[in-house]
Amino acid sequence: MTPEKLFHELLGLGMNWEVVESRFERERGTVCLEIAETVSLWDSVRCPRDGGLVYCYDHTEVLSWRHLSVFQHRCEITCRLGRGKCRQCGHVFRVRPPWEGLSTHFTKEFEAFCLLLMREMPVSKVAEAVGETDTRLWRMLFRHVEAAYAEADFSQVCCVGVDEMSIRKGHEYISVFADLLAKRVLFATEGKDRATWVRFIEALEAHNGHRHAITQASMDMSQAYQAGVAENCRNAQVVFDKFHVLKNVGEAVDKVRRAEVRLGGQGVWEALHKSQWLWRKNPENLTAKEQARLAKIKEKNLGTAKAYQMRLVLQDIYRSADVTTARYRLRVWCRWVRWVARFYRANLLCWMVKMADMVENHLAGILAHWKWGVTNAFMEGLNSVFSATKRKARGYRSSVHLITMLYFVAGKLRLPEFSFH
Ligand SMILES: [Zn+2]
């Protein structure tokens, strides 16, 4: 068997193409496979416009595609592609070879291999590993995600969660919509205002979903998202998910701590200085050293310790077995917070009182948690999805890059898979 025949077999070229030359270019360290069409090709090619018979019109200049390495050596396929002309309408077009991927420089197999690597590491690392530029790999990813996303079906979507992901610290955001049952990202768009919902509904309906099929919308307590649901989805119940409620109360505790440090007083600074991590943890996760410190702080009867206790109680309310108990306990919690707050100087616990107001004003949405308990896991999981997305898009912080990566990582799209056999 000649090397050309061997490569023909390995590439699975069939009747219409043949390897006319294979050579190893030592100075470039590259295996070059020159391919040409056979006459039989023209019997099977049809006009893309009207399906008419075609004949060979001319050929392109030499084009090349990066293929999988041969024994660690870079491999390139080169070919002067035939251009066909339709006998019926005269349309002239380039023949699409069977090895070509979605990007002009790579073969299908090479693209599938790069996609496999991209699942595991940042794009810049993959580029380094395979010796291609970031730009080419990103362009390839854009094409695949775009093509697969166009095929995505949202007809079963009924439980939706939305959360914001920061692009740059504190400034730009994208809103990410997820299917909480199928555990996949559905849509992402710039901004975090109510218009993001309009764009989401458009995307949903462009993929066979329906706005009134949505029965649950999980979110944080931002006005914009609530308005977005109210205006677009009449059957959706708003759910303020546990993760965001507990995040808010955690932030409130931190505000109390900072205010108390500013306020000063005997021993306050020593007690609270650099203690923020302490208050973010749950007691069972504290180290022995941290526990000792916490006990000392508690002796001083500080507002921060009280606020921390309030957070733990609220957290515990989420362990309530049913909605009736939860409603009762939340009401008691609000009353208790307000009552206790009066005993602290300088309105120190005002952040906790605000939290109590928030809980009361959003009670129905908070209690909906008990009705929809099963769907919460993915909402909380979105945060790790966001960090994985940013890690993979390292160095590329545009919304286009991040949204594409988000769909790639968590969209459950049908992308080419690399096979090892
Ligand atoms: Zn035609």
Q: pLDDT digits over 15-25, tens only?
A: 999 999 999 99
- What residues sit around ligand 1, an ion, with C-beta below 5 angstroms? 47, 49-50, 52, 86, 88-89, 91
CA of 56 to the centre of ligand 1 (A): 13
In this predicted structure, the answer to whether residue 299 has a pLDDT above a threshold of 80 is no
What's the distance, Cα to Cα, between the start and end of the chain in Å? 22
* pLDDT number for residue 389: 93
In this predicted structure, the answer to whether residue 108 has a pLDDT above a threshold of 70 is yes
Write the pLDDT tens digit of every residue in 109-125.
Answer: 999 999 999 999 999 99
CA of 239 to the centre of ligand 1 (A): 55
Q: How confident is the model at residue 290 (pLDDT cuts 50, 70, 90)?
A: confident
Q: How confident is the model at residue 421 (pLDDT cuts 50, 70, 90)?
A: low
CA of 217 to the centre of ligand 1 (A): 49
> What's the pTM?
0.87
Flag the least confident range among 155-159, 231-235, 298-302, 405-409. Answer: 298-302
CA of 84 to the centre of ligand 1 (A): 10
Q: How confident is the model at residue 374 (pLDDT cuts 50, 70, 90)?
A: low
CA of 53 to the centre of ligand 1 (A): 7
Letter string b/e over residues 9-34, b meaning 16 or more CB atoms within 10 A of that residue's CB: eebebeebbbbeebeeeeeeebbbbb
* pLDDT number for residue 201: 96
Q: What's the mean pLDDT in 64-92? A: 94
At residue 251, the 3 state secondary structure works out as helix
Write the pLDDT tens digit of every residue in 253-265.
Answer: 999 988 888 887 7
CA of 92 to the centre of ligand 1 (A): 8
Mean pLDDT estimate for the chain:
91
CA of 41 to the centre of ligand 1 (A): 17
CA of 83 to the centre of ligand 1 (A): 13
* pLDDT number for residue 354: 95
* pLDDT number for residue 170: 66
Q: What's the mean pLDDT in 356-372? A: 92
Write the pLDDT tens digit of every residue in 151-168.
Answer: 999 999 999 999 999 887
Q: What's the mean pLDDT in 94-112? A: 93
Task: Identify which has the larger pLDDT, 396 or 76.
Answer: 76
| Under 8 Å between Cβ of 199 and 231 | no
Please classify residue 150 by burial: count the beta carbons closer than 10 Å to its beta carbon, then call 0-12 exposed, 13-18 middle and 19+ buried.
exposed
CA of 102 to the centre of ligand 1 (A): 24
CA of 16 to the centre of ligand 1 (A): 21
CA of 285 to the centre of ligand 1 (A): 71
CA of 260 to the centre of ligand 1 (A): 79
